[in-house]
Amino acid sequence: MTANSKSRLLHSLLLIAATVTSTVTALKTGIHKHETLDTWFLVTEQSSYVIGATTEGYIANLHWGNRLERLDDLNATMDDTFFIQNPPPTYVTEELPVFGGLRYRDNVLKVELPDGVRELNLLYSGNANITDGYMLDLDLRDGNRTDVLVTLHYEIDIDNDIIRRSYTIRNGLDKRINVSKAFSAAWHLPTALGSDEKREIMTLAGEWASEAMVESTELRPGVTHVIQSQRGFPSHVSYPYFAIRQVPSDVNPSTEVYFGALAWSGSWEITAHTSLFGTTRVVGGMHHQDFGWTLEPNESFTTPVFAAGFTNKGMPGARKLLPRHVRKYQKKNLETQKDDSVYHPVLYNSWEAMTCVFDFTIDKQLELAEIAAPLGIELFVVDDGWFGARDNDSAGLGDWYPSKKKFPNGVKPLSDRVHEYEARNQLVLNLGMPEVQDYLYETMSTFIAENNVDYIKWDMNRPWAEMSMHNYDRNPREAAVLSVEGFYSIIDRLKVKFPKLWVESCASGGGRMDIGVLEKTDQVWTSDNTRPDARILIQYGASLFLPPRLQYSWVTESPYDSNIDIPLSFRFHVAFQGGLGVGSNIEKYTEDQLEETTGWISLYKKIRPVIQNGDIDWLVQPSRLSELVAVSQTTSRDQSEAVVLGFRHNSPFSTPLNWIRLRNLDKSAIYTVKVWGGDPHKAEDEYELSGALLMHRGILLNTLNNAMFKSVVVWLRRKD
């Protein structure tokens, strides 16, 4: 194929036709339909997403990227002259490519109809519905069987340049049908700036205790990248997130990034296929392996949300938008999260203080609580081992009542005692897999009400297997999805009954922290690995989607670093990147250690408003391969304050760190800069500098020199 024919083909494949017209309709943010054409413009602060119905009725994506100016710029007129080898539906950038007809690329939806037919041909029905300027529904129906109906749902987060997509399929036939694949959406990325330029896909790999490791690999034409979990929960192995960014070159400085994440706490798959023309199609949703859903006449099924966004501000832009989006929806959905000035508490978890966790007594818990309270701890958490016959690792999981032996008078005495302290003090439940939702809901409600519990940590440690053994009288392939929905419904019901109850999501660490569960729970446990140098890498990866306040981090003597002398200050500074917890055996702390702990907790409470409500940026990214240096900067949205956390694991050549240039400050303002190293009670340095100098020349973190595990906290405040 000649370059010329390739470009002509590309032109028509993209279905984009520029028209010259004298009416200029400036595009405001929100969702707009063209006056005469079936074209919809989804406009956010920095991006536009345009879809249109072709004359054949396919709903196609016409543009996704930088914000457009006019409604008249695009229409979905189709020219099929060039499709001799590739019939239209194959190359149309269909919003919902189904299994059926002449479609040979990754599809999103597959059904089985009563007469044995398994193909659909979904076309625009003519019904569109824009609600409140930010939601759009488009109705599609099957060309030949008008009674299979699909409604595409779009919702835009205008401030954060994110589109949320899902759809509902409804059975309008008088017989049952089966859905055998129901991904949430297809996303179409145009060619990169400069057409033949390179793009990379960034994903998050992991294992238990090493979650959210950032990976990137080049997209190649003809190659499909697949990330997935088949474990029944999102899992540590991979995270349902992608970012596709252009690699800047000599001639193309583009910092465009497309990124997205699934709001689904079950098995999932995301694939990204790149064509020879440099376009990429991303599809994803609930995993289709062993998935099935039966729709009786008139029944419908709605997929989870697949949210995706665009930024031209590189990965720092993507890292700001998705966490902000998550926080926005968390605030929208949760009574406990409505108010930004209610901060996530400093918690103490007694798990690691137990020599044998299954052997604890209420007296021991009370002792720990007595030590924790004066340190400034605001939340007291009892982890695994409190319930039923939980005497060893092979017993008791799934019991829903407190152990009589460990709590002869119930849990209330402990709860009463911790509630006597001035701060908010709480208890945690730690659960295995729920079997019967109502039983769990009733038992948990009773327990929460009777014992005045403020907070539960919901753990899930066991991947699913033998799903079809569940005693459903429905299609056995629905079991995996029903389990996730059951989990959601218990949390929703508990949140309705106890609007002030806080819930932490955990699954052997970070196995369940998809953006769906983040809209239902208050915070997440990113990893069981609390070794601080490992934790920085985990926090680096998780900061792609987690708002800092949701990401809990504990100071411990973790089992993973018992032979290494990591200073308490370094442990605290790592935990300062998110919600702060302490998990050490504080009974064994010396007076000095207790005093240092009190000092760091007190400093944390001062910087917590910036840490918890700000945006995190990485000035030096941690690397698994080199000497560990990492510097993060969390900045308040109004640029009035920032906290820089700097870490250096070692420095074999005793060379100082280079100057660190800060970001996102107010150029013309003067900032007071205060620096702490190993002593929370004594700042190492204090000076004043302009925002411009801080950003254009930077600061020297010269205490990060040749010693092992050095760290600093730098607090910047704008002077009025």
Ligand X SMILES: *[C@@H]1O[C@H](CO)[C@@H](O)[C@H](O)[C@H]1NC(C)=O
DSSP notation for 457-518: EE--------GGGS--SS-GGGHHHHHHHHHHHHHHHHHHH-TT-EEEE-BTTBSS--TTGG
CA 415 to chain centre: 33
Question: Which x/- pattern over 20-39 shows residues binding ligand X (rule: CB under 6 A)?
Answer: ----------------xx--
300 lies in the site for ligand X, by CB under 6 A: no
CB of 129 to ligand X, least distance (A): 4
17 lies in the site for ligand X, by CB under 6 A: yes
- Note if 393 is an active site residue: no
The whole-angstrom separation of Cα 452 and Cα 455 is 9
In the Cβ-directed half-sphere of 102, how many Cα atoms lie within 13 Å? 11
CA dihedral of 114, 120, 122, 125, whole degrees rounded to 10: -30
77 lies in the site for ligand X, by CB under 6 A: yes
CB of 358 to ligand X, least distance (A): 8
- Chain position carrying tokens 């030096």: 620
Phi, psi (5° rounding) for residue 466? 45, 45
The residue (of 102 and 449) whose beta carbon lies closer to ligand X is 102
174 lies in the site for ligand X, by CB under 6 A: yes
Any binding-site annotation on 469?
Answer: no
75 lies in the site for ligand X, by CB under 6 A: yes
290 lies in the site for ligand X, by CB under 6 A: no
CB of 138 to ligand X, least distance (A): 11
Single out the residue of 5, 55, 66, 131 in contact with ligand X (rule: CB under 6 A): 131
19 lies in the site for ligand X, by CB under 6 A: yes
Strand order of the β-sheet with 347-349 is 379-381, 347-349, 579-582, 551-555, 523-525, 502-505, 455-458
Can you give the length of the chain in residues?
Answer: 720
Any binding-site annotation on 444?
Answer: no
- Chain position carrying tokens 């992991």: 206
Any binding-site annotation on 115?
Answer: no
Orientation angle between helical segments 568-575 and 591-613, nearest 10 degrees: 20
Instruction: List the catalytic residue out of 73, 161, 459, 615.
Output: 459
The whole-angstrom separation of Cα 386 and Cα 397 is 10
The residue (of 182 and 518) whose beta carbon lies closer to ligand X is 182
Any binding-site annotation on 64?
Answer: no
The residue (of 439 and 472) whose beta carbon lies closer to ligand X is 472
CB of 507 to ligand X, least distance (A): 23
The residue (of 295 and 582) whose beta carbon lies closer to ligand X is 295
Any binding-site annotation on 213?
Answer: no
Answer yes or no: are the C-beta atoms of 199 and 192 closer than 8 Å: yes
Neighbours of 566 (CB within 10 A): 18
CB of 334 to ligand X, least distance (A): 22
CB of 436 to ligand X, least distance (A): 22
Taking contact as CB under 6 A, which single stretch among the options 171-179, 319-327, 485-493, 529-537 is the one that binds ligand X? 171-179
80 lies in the site for ligand X, by CB under 6 A: no
The residue (of 298 and 446) whose beta carbon lies closer to ligand X is 298
468 lies in the site for ligand X, by CB under 6 A: no
Answer yes or no: are the C-beta atoms of 173 and 166 closer than 8 Å: no
- DSSP 3-state percent helix, strand, coil across the chain (nearest 5): 25, 30, 45
Neighbours of 265 (CB within 10 A): 30
395 lies in the site for ligand X, by CB under 6 A: yes
Single out the residue of 5, 298, 593, 705 in contact with ligand X (rule: CB under 6 A): 298
Query: Which value, in Å, is the radius of gyration of the alpha carbons in the chain?
Result: 27
394 lies in the site for ligand X, by CB under 6 A: yes
Amino acid residing at 663: R
> 286 by DSSP, 3-state: which?
strand
333 lies in the site for ligand X, by CB under 6 A: no
Answer yes or no: are the C-beta atoms of 504 and 456 closer than 8 Å: yes
The residue (of 230 and 475) whose beta carbon lies closer to ligand X is 475
- Note if 565 is an active site residue: no
Single out the residue of 46, 61, 121, 527 in contact with ligand X (rule: CB under 6 A): 121
Tokens of 20: 């010259």
CB of 297 to ligand X, least distance (A): 4
392 lies in the site for ligand X, by CB under 6 A: yes
| Adjacent-strand bridge partners of 624 | none
144 lies in the site for ligand X, by CB under 6 A: yes
Amino acid residing at 133: G
Question: Which x/- pattern over 473-492 shows residues binding ligand X (rule: CB under 6 A)?
Answer: --x-----------------
> 374 by DSSP, 3-state: which?
helix
The whole-angstrom separation of Cα 164 and Cα 158 is 11
Instruction: List the catalytic residue out of 157, 528, 615, 617.
Output: 528
The whole-angstrom separation of Cα 501 and Cα 456 is 8
> In what helix (H) or strand (E) does residue 90 lie, and over which residues does it extend?
helix 88-91
Neighbours of 196 (CB within 10 A): 11
Any binding-site annotation on 384?
Answer: yes
114 lies in the site for ligand X, by CB under 6 A: yes
The residue (of 114 and 499) whose beta carbon lies closer to ligand X is 114
The residue (of 423 and 467) whose beta carbon lies closer to ligand X is 467
Answer yes or no: are the C-beta atoms of 264 and 234 closer than 8 Å: yes
Taking contact as CB under 6 A, which single stretch among the options 388-396, 506-514, 671-679, 692-700 is the one that binds ligand X? 388-396
Query: Strand pairing of 579-582 and 551-555?
Result: parallel
Residue whose beta carbon is closest to ligand X: 143
Taking contact as CB under 6 A, which single stretch among the options 136-144, 225-233, 435-443, 710-718 is the one that binds ligand X? 136-144
DSSP symbol at 452 = T
389 lies in the site for ligand X, by CB under 6 A: yes
CB of 433 to ligand X, least distance (A): 19
Q: Is the dihedral of CA 78, 83, 84, 88 positive or negative?
A: negative
Taking contact as CB under 6 A, which single stretch among the options 385-393, 437-445, 626-634, 670-678 is the one that binds ligand X? 385-393
The residue (of 359 and 435) whose beta carbon lies closer to ligand X is 359
Q: Which of 533, 481, 86 is nearest to 301 (CA)?
A: 481
Any binding-site annotation on 424?
Answer: yes
Any binding-site annotation on 458?
Answer: yes
Single out the residue of 7, 55, 129, 446 in contact with ligand X (rule: CB under 6 A): 129
Query: Strand pairing of 177-189 and 280-286?
Result: antiparallel
143 lies in the site for ligand X, by CB under 6 A: yes
CB of 171 to ligand X, least distance (A): 9
CB of 431 to ligand X, least distance (A): 18
The residue (of 478 and 617) whose beta carbon lies closer to ligand X is 478
The residue (of 54 and 350) whose beta carbon lies closer to ligand X is 54
Q: Which of 169, 520, 147, 97 is nearest to 336 (CA)?
A: 520
Answer yes or no: are the C-beta atoms of 458 and 504 closer than 8 Å: yes
Q: Which residues are annotated as a binding site for substrate?
A: 208, 383-384, 424, 457-461, 506, 528
Residues annotated as catalytic are 459, 528
Binding site for ligand X (CB under 6 A): 17, 19, 36-37, 75, 77, 112, 114, 121, 129, 131, 137, 143-144, 174, 177-178, 294, 297-298, 389, 391-392, 394-395, 475
